[in-house]
A and B are shown apart, each in its own frame.
Chain A
């Protein structure tokens, strides 16, 4: 069974860079057709899609965040990462790493989430 586990910065100062990684275990990371996503939820708000990467390295980002986001994959370490620059208080949120299944499977596996707070 697939297990996704987020780790990384829990408190980030305004204007600095948020960095999270998502460890992938229990299933093949390199299976074609899957995409690996980051999704967040700010306090009291709805879920917000950040972007995704394929194992091959292709990416797509939410236009509202595109200028500040990089999602990358580390094939040797079996994880993928999120980098968000120039953070503000509006980036305080629970961040989830998620797998989107091939075809019509949707977001079928989620990490437990990690809370990131932007504060000086």
Chain B
């Protein structure tokens, strides 16, 4: 099973700042099939990035994904209050599908 480790665990940022979230896999992810989701209280998780770098439908261009192999990252430029939540990376190159433990983003 591919284990994904996300860092940092919590990120506290000022509105307008840029944030970079990291996700490291224990082995290379097939076809760079890594996705990023945001989960806010009371809502279902929402897909932001798939295939490591592609934005999902209707996702703001403030969100960008990068990386390949075992190291991936999500960058959120110019954070706003609506961006608070828990962000998860996930690999879907192989079964079992696995998620990271999440990075909580707090807006100061």
Contact = CB atoms under 8 A, between A and B. Distances in A.
Given A49-B97, A60-B95, A110 B44 contact: yes
A104 B44 contact: no
Interface string A14-45: 00000000000000000000000100000000
A47 B99 contact: yes
B96 A104 contact: no
Interface residues of A, number: 21
A59 B50 CA distance: 23
B72 interface: no
A100 B92 contact: yes
Contacts of B99: 46-49
A96 B33 CA distance: 21
Interface of A: 37, 46-49, 60-63, 96, 100-101, 104-108, 110-113
A99 B54 CA distance: 18
A106 B101 contact: no
A49 B90 CA distance: 10
A23 B37 CA distance: 23
A112 B42 CA distance: 9
B39 to A, nearest CB: 8
Contact of B50 (A37, A47, A108): A108
